[in-house]
């Protein structure tokens, strides 16, 4: 658990994602360009791998989930199941106590525990929450539907808990969204104005790999519009570096999940903060 001012932040893991060859995820990056990062941004076997997770942000007034993981599975790449709900339980918060579910974007690995299906009926995993989803993402995936959208986003509308948001949306006076479109049409970060000095941002899929802190023009195949995602990424990284923001990442491994961007000899690097 991290405590920043009056806010508590818990990493809520779901499971480890698929091991992938970096050149299939970043087809425009030469293999040799990865060499500088192999000791810390890749597995020993040269693959890259995302952790699938969300976060619980506790303010004095609200329990806010940021994304809900990939879901229980089963999965082809592992015999393990998604453990998001169990890991939420471990931090001592009941699903009923969540009052906001903030979705950074509507890809499957960020929405997988919104809903549980029982006897072909969708049931909310967080029955007292407002679900905050980007209007741009919703409109886009309504026209380009996939199973995850059909199973985990569309039912929110039927169940009357879907809140479509855009621009700068306030959850509380000191917690608001930062539109960072590009990874998806409506990708959004969540900003916390901890106090006069300290600021924090949840970045969803603004970036996937630690190497992108330095190589912030690198775009994975998952980015919907790479011009837009690059502008969003470089813009937010610059702000975060200049203003010393704390960043809660969507996919870095646990011990590196939360950190800051620092400069060594004019080159930007990731500097993790330990729990
Ligand atoms: Zn993701």
51 in Cβ contact with 13 (< 8 Å): yes
Ligand 1 is a single-atom ion; what residues have CB below 5 A from it?
A: 109, 205
Report residue 234's pLDDT band, with 50, 70 and 90 as the boundaries.
Answer: very high
Ligand 1 centroid to 118 CA: how many Å?
Answer: 26
Ligand 1 centroid to 224 CA: how many Å?
Answer: 12
Does the pTM surpass 0.85? The reply is yes
User: What percentage of the chain exceeds 90 in pLDDT?
Assistant: 100
Ligand 1 centroid to 204 CA: how many Å?
Answer: 7
Ligand 1 centroid to 202 CA: how many Å?
Answer: 13
Please give the Cα distance from 148 to 128 (Å, whole number): 22
**pLDDT tens figures, 13-58:** 999 999 999 999 999 999 999 999 999 999 999 999 999 999 999 9
Ligand 1 centroid to 124 CA: how many Å?
Answer: 21
Mean pLDDT of the region 62-90: 97
Ligand 1 centroid to 251 CA: how many Å?
Answer: 7
Mean pLDDT of the region 182-186: 98
Q: What pLDDT is stored for residue 115 in this prediction?
A: 98
What rounded mean pLDDT belongs to the chain?
97
Q: What pLDDT is stored for residue 275 in this prediction?
A: 87
Indicate if the pLDDT at residue 204 is higher than 90: yes
Architecture of domain 2-272: 4-Layer Sandwich (3.60)
Indicate if the pLDDT at residue 174 is higher than 90: yes
Terminal alpha carbon distance of the chain = 6
252 in Cβ contact with 41 (< 8 Å): no
Ligand 1 centroid to 123 CA: how many Å?
Answer: 23
Domain segments of the chain as ranges? 2-272
């Amino acid at each position: 658990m991290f405590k920043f001012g009056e806010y508590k932040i818990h990493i809520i893991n779901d499971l480890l994602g698929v091991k992938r060859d970096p050149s299939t995820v970043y087809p425009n990056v030469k293999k040799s360009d990865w060499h500088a990062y192999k000791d810390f941004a890749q597995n020993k076997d040269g693959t890259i791998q995302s952790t699938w997770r969300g976060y619980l942000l506790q303010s004095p007034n609200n329990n806010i989930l940021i994304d809900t993981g990939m879901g229980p599975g089963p999965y082809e790449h592992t015999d393990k199941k998604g453990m998001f709900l169990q890991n939420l339980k471990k931090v001592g918060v009941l699903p009923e106590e969540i009052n906001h579910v903030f979705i950074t974007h509507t890809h499957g690995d960020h929405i997988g525990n919104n809903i549980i299906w029982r006897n072909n009926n969708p049931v909310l995993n967080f029955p007292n929450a407002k679900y905050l989803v980007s209007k741009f993402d919703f409109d886009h995936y309504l026209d380009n539907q996939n199973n995850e959208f059909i199973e985990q986003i569309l039912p929110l509308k039927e169940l009357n808990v879907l809140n479509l948001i855009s621009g700068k949306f306030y959850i509380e006076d000191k917690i608001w969204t930062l539109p960072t479109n590009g990874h998806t049409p409506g990708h959004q970060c969540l900003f916390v104005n901890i106090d006069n000095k300290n600021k924090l941002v949840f970045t969803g899929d603004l970036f996937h790999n630690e190497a992108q802190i330095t190589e912030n023009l690198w775009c994975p195949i998952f980015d919907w519009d790479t011009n837009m995602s690059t502008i969003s990424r470089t813009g937010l990284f610059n702000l975060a570096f200049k203003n010393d923001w704390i960043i809660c990442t969507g996919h870095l491994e646990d011990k590196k999940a939360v950190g800051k961007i620092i400069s060594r000899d004019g080159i930007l690097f990731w500097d993790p903060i330990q729990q």
